[in-house]
Chains A and B, each alone.
Chain A
Amino acid sequence: AQSVTQLDSQVPVFEEAPVELRCNYSSSVSVYLFWYVQYPNQGLQLLLKYLSGSTLVKGINGFEAEFNKSQTSFHLRKPSVHISDTAEYFCAVSDRYKGNTPLVFGKGTRLSVIA
Protein backbone atom coordinates (compact mmCIF):
# COMPACT_ATOMS: atom_id res chain seq x y z
CA ALA A 1 0.00 0.00 0.00
CA GLN A 2 1.08 3.54 -0.65
CA SER A 3 0.53 6.73 1.29
CA VAL A 4 1.38 10.37 0.76
CA THR A 5 1.98 13.01 3.39
CA GLN A 6 1.91 16.68 2.54
CA LEU A 7 3.57 18.29 5.47
CA ASP A 8 1.88 21.69 5.26
CA SER A 9 -1.86 22.16 4.88
CA GLN A 10 -1.50 25.90 4.20
CA VAL A 11 1.43 27.96 2.95
CA PRO A 12 1.15 31.74 2.74
CA VAL A 13 3.89 33.48 0.78
CA PHE A 14 4.49 36.96 -0.56
CA GLU A 15 4.46 37.61 -4.28
CA GLU A 16 7.86 37.12 -5.98
CA ALA A 17 9.16 35.11 -3.02
CA PRO A 18 10.30 31.49 -3.43
CA VAL A 19 8.15 28.63 -2.21
CA GLU A 20 8.58 24.96 -1.40
CA LEU A 21 5.67 22.59 -0.89
CA ARG A 22 6.73 19.41 0.83
CA CYS A 23 5.66 15.87 -0.01
CA ASN A 24 6.78 12.58 1.47
CA TYR A 25 5.55 9.18 0.41
CA SER A 26 5.56 5.64 1.71
CA SER A 27 5.46 2.61 -0.52
CA SER A 28 6.58 -1.00 -0.58
CA VAL A 29 7.04 -0.84 -4.36
CA SER A 30 8.59 1.56 -6.82
CA VAL A 31 6.34 4.47 -7.63
CA TYR A 32 5.63 7.20 -10.08
CA LEU A 33 5.20 10.64 -8.53
CA PHE A 34 2.94 13.51 -9.53
CA TRP A 35 2.02 17.04 -8.56
CA TYR A 36 -1.42 18.33 -9.52
CA VAL A 37 -2.81 21.84 -9.11
CA GLN A 38 -6.42 22.77 -8.50
CA TYR A 39 -7.51 26.35 -9.10
CA PRO A 40 -10.70 27.51 -7.35
CA ASN A 41 -13.82 25.74 -8.59
CA GLN A 42 -11.91 23.74 -11.18
CA GLY A 43 -10.70 20.20 -11.67
CA LEU A 44 -7.12 19.03 -11.21
CA GLN A 45 -4.42 19.81 -13.73
CA LEU A 46 -1.08 18.00 -13.98
CA LEU A 47 1.87 20.21 -13.02
CA LEU A 48 4.65 17.67 -13.43
CA LYS A 49 5.51 14.03 -12.97
CA TYR A 50 8.50 11.84 -12.23
CA LEU A 51 8.61 8.51 -14.03
CA SER A 52 12.34 7.80 -14.35
CA GLY A 53 15.64 9.41 -15.27
CA SER A 54 16.74 12.79 -13.96
CA THR A 55 15.54 13.37 -10.42
CA LEU A 56 14.89 17.06 -11.12
CA VAL A 57 11.64 17.43 -13.00
CA LYS A 58 10.43 20.64 -14.58
CA GLY A 59 6.76 21.32 -15.05
CA ILE A 60 4.41 24.00 -16.23
CA ASN A 61 4.21 27.56 -14.89
CA GLY A 62 7.83 27.56 -13.70
CA PHE A 63 7.43 24.81 -11.11
CA GLU A 64 9.96 22.06 -10.54
CA ALA A 65 10.27 19.11 -8.18
CA GLU A 66 13.08 16.89 -7.03
CA PHE A 67 12.75 13.19 -6.38
CA ASN A 68 14.82 12.01 -3.44
CA LYS A 69 14.63 8.24 -3.13
CA SER A 70 16.61 7.97 0.11
CA GLN A 71 14.33 10.49 1.82
CA THR A 72 11.21 9.31 -0.03
CA SER A 73 10.39 12.89 -0.87
CA PHE A 74 9.16 14.82 -3.89
CA HIS A 75 9.13 18.48 -2.91
CA LEU A 76 7.71 21.11 -5.25
CA ARG A 77 9.48 24.45 -5.70
CA LYS A 78 9.11 27.70 -7.52
CA PRO A 79 11.74 30.46 -7.32
CA SER A 80 9.29 33.37 -7.62
CA VAL A 81 5.54 33.03 -7.16
CA HIS A 82 2.76 35.09 -8.69
CA ILE A 83 -0.70 35.90 -7.45
CA SER A 84 -2.03 33.51 -10.09
CA ASP A 85 -0.28 30.60 -8.35
CA THR A 86 -2.81 30.76 -5.53
CA ALA A 87 -4.38 27.30 -5.60
CA GLU A 88 -4.48 23.90 -3.92
CA TYR A 89 -1.59 21.59 -4.74
CA PHE A 90 -1.76 17.81 -4.48
CA CYS A 91 1.06 15.32 -4.43
CA ALA A 92 0.20 11.81 -5.66
CA VAL A 93 1.82 8.42 -6.27
CA SER A 94 1.02 5.35 -8.31
CA ASP A 95 2.51 1.88 -8.56
CA ARG A 96 5.00 2.00 -11.45
CA TYR A 97 4.55 -1.64 -12.37
CA LYS A 98 0.78 -1.70 -12.75
CA GLY A 99 0.12 0.55 -15.72
CA ASN A 100 -2.43 3.26 -15.22
CA THR A 101 -3.36 2.50 -11.65
CA PRO A 102 -5.38 4.77 -9.44
CA LEU A 103 -3.53 7.62 -7.82
CA VAL A 104 -3.05 7.89 -4.08
CA PHE A 105 -3.24 11.54 -3.12
CA GLY A 106 -1.98 13.58 -0.23
CA LYS A 107 -4.43 15.83 1.58
CA GLY A 108 -3.33 18.91 -0.29
CA THR A 109 -1.49 22.15 0.43
CA ARG A 110 -3.26 25.44 -0.03
CA LEU A 111 -0.83 28.01 -1.41
CA SER A 112 -1.88 31.60 -0.83
CA VAL A 113 0.18 34.27 -2.57
CA ILE A 114 -0.03 37.65 -0.91
CA ALA A 115 0.45 40.89 -2.84
Chain B
Amino acid sequence: DAGITQSPRYKITETGRQVTLMCHQTWSHSYMFWYRQDLGHGLRLIYYSAAADITDKGEVPDGYVVSRSKTENFPLTLESATRSQTSVYFCATGLAGVDTQYFGPGTRLTVL
Protein backbone atom coordinates (compact mmCIF):
# COMPACT_ATOMS: atom_id res chain seq x y z
CA ASP B 1 0.00 0.00 0.00
CA ALA B 2 1.85 3.08 -1.27
CA GLY B 3 -0.37 5.64 0.54
CA ILE B 4 0.83 9.05 -0.58
CA THR B 5 3.61 9.52 -3.08
CA GLN B 6 5.15 12.78 -4.18
CA SER B 7 7.30 13.28 -7.23
CA PRO B 8 9.89 14.37 -7.79
CA ARG B 9 11.46 14.18 -4.33
CA TYR B 10 14.09 16.76 -5.28
CA LYS B 11 13.96 19.39 -8.01
CA ILE B 12 16.27 22.21 -9.05
CA THR B 13 14.93 24.73 -11.52
CA GLU B 14 15.58 28.24 -12.73
CA THR B 15 13.66 31.45 -12.21
CA GLY B 16 10.84 31.82 -14.71
CA ARG B 17 10.41 28.14 -15.51
CA GLN B 18 7.16 26.25 -15.03
CA VAL B 19 7.35 23.38 -12.55
CA THR B 20 4.73 20.79 -11.61
CA LEU B 21 4.88 18.83 -8.39
CA MET B 22 2.84 15.65 -8.33
CA CYS B 23 0.89 14.13 -5.48
CA HIS B 24 -0.78 10.73 -5.78
CA GLN B 25 -2.75 8.79 -3.16
CA THR B 26 -4.03 5.22 -3.13
CA TRP B 27 -6.51 5.63 -0.25
CA SER B 28 -9.35 7.45 -2.06
CA HIS B 29 -9.39 10.15 0.60
CA SER B 30 -11.67 12.99 -0.47
CA TYR B 31 -9.52 15.82 0.91
CA MET B 32 -6.08 16.74 -0.37
CA PHE B 33 -3.83 19.60 0.71
CA TRP B 34 -0.64 21.32 -0.36
CA TYR B 35 1.57 22.93 2.28
CA ARG B 36 4.95 24.56 2.03
CA GLN B 37 7.51 24.39 4.83
CA ASP B 38 9.98 27.20 5.35
CA LEU B 39 12.40 27.78 8.20
CA GLY B 40 10.81 30.04 10.77
CA HIS B 41 7.34 29.73 9.28
CA GLY B 42 6.31 26.17 9.99
CA LEU B 43 3.88 24.80 7.41
CA ARG B 44 1.57 27.09 5.48
CA LEU B 45 -1.35 26.03 3.34
CA ILE B 46 -1.16 26.79 -0.37
CA TYR B 47 -4.32 25.13 -1.75
CA TYR B 48 -6.67 22.36 -0.79
CA SER B 49 -9.37 20.27 -2.39
CA ALA B 50 -12.47 18.72 -0.84
CA ALA B 51 -13.19 16.47 -3.83
CA ALA B 52 -12.46 16.13 -7.53
CA ASP B 53 -13.01 19.43 -9.34
CA ILE B 54 -13.33 21.37 -6.04
CA THR B 55 -10.35 23.46 -4.96
CA ASP B 56 -9.86 26.40 -2.63
CA LYS B 57 -7.09 28.83 -1.78
CA GLY B 58 -5.09 28.68 1.39
CA GLU B 59 -2.86 31.19 3.13
CA VAL B 60 -0.18 31.54 0.41
CA PRO B 61 -1.71 30.74 -3.03
CA ASP B 62 -0.04 33.41 -5.17
CA GLY B 63 2.12 32.00 -7.96
CA TYR B 64 0.61 28.51 -7.71
CA VAL B 65 -2.07 26.67 -9.67
CA VAL B 66 -3.78 23.41 -8.77
CA SER B 67 -6.20 21.04 -10.44
CA ARG B 68 -7.95 17.88 -9.39
CA SER B 69 -9.57 16.02 -12.25
CA LYS B 70 -9.22 12.66 -10.47
CA THR B 71 -9.64 11.90 -6.77
CA GLU B 72 -6.20 10.32 -6.49
CA ASN B 73 -4.10 13.11 -8.04
CA PHE B 74 -3.52 16.69 -6.92
CA PRO B 75 -0.75 18.37 -8.94
CA LEU B 76 0.70 21.72 -7.91
CA THR B 77 2.09 23.95 -10.66
CA LEU B 78 4.39 26.91 -10.27
CA GLU B 79 3.60 28.88 -13.39
CA SER B 80 6.78 30.98 -13.35
CA ALA B 81 9.07 29.93 -10.54
CA THR B 82 10.66 32.56 -8.30
CA ARG B 83 13.46 32.23 -5.73
CA SER B 84 10.95 32.84 -2.95
CA GLN B 85 9.27 29.57 -3.91
CA THR B 86 12.35 27.61 -2.85
CA SER B 87 10.86 25.42 -0.15
CA VAL B 88 9.85 21.93 0.89
CA TYR B 89 6.38 21.08 -0.35
CA PHE B 90 4.16 18.58 1.42
CA CYS B 91 1.02 16.98 0.13
CA ALA B 92 -1.50 15.64 2.65
CA THR B 93 -4.79 13.76 2.47
CA GLY B 94 -7.75 13.26 4.76
CA LEU B 95 -11.18 11.72 4.99
CA ALA B 96 -14.29 13.88 5.08
CA GLY B 97 -15.46 14.38 8.66
CA VAL B 98 -12.28 12.92 10.15
CA ASP B 99 -9.65 15.36 11.21
CA THR B 100 -6.42 13.42 10.90
CA GLN B 101 -4.31 14.38 7.90
CA TYR B 102 -1.72 12.08 6.39
CA PHE B 103 1.42 13.58 4.93
CA GLY B 104 3.56 12.57 2.00
CA PRO B 105 7.37 12.51 2.15
CA GLY B 106 7.75 15.98 0.62
CA THR B 107 9.41 17.54 -2.41
CA ARG B 108 12.43 19.76 -1.89
CA LEU B 109 12.36 22.47 -4.58
CA THR B 110 15.24 24.84 -5.23
CA VAL B 111 14.76 27.79 -7.58
CA LEU B 112 18.02 29.33 -8.77
Cβ of A13 to closest chain B Cβ, rounded Å: 21
A37 to B44 alpha-carbon distance, docked (Å): 16
A72 to B5 alpha-carbon distance, docked (Å): 35
The size of the chain A interface, using a CB distance under 8 A, is 23
A-B pairs with beta carbons under 8 A, tally: 59
CB <8 Å contact, A100 and B97: yes
The size of the chain B interface, using a CB distance under 8 A, is 29
* Contacts known (A43-B104, A44-B103); A106 close to B42, Cβ less than 8 A: yes
- The contact of A43 among B31, B42, B95, B105, by CB within 8 Å, is B105
Chain A 71-97, CB-CB to B under 8 Å as 1, else 0, gives 000000000000000000010001010
Residues of chain B whose beta carbon lies under 8 Å from any beta carbon of chain A = 4, 30-31, 33, 35, 40-45, 48, 50, 58, 90, 92, 94-106
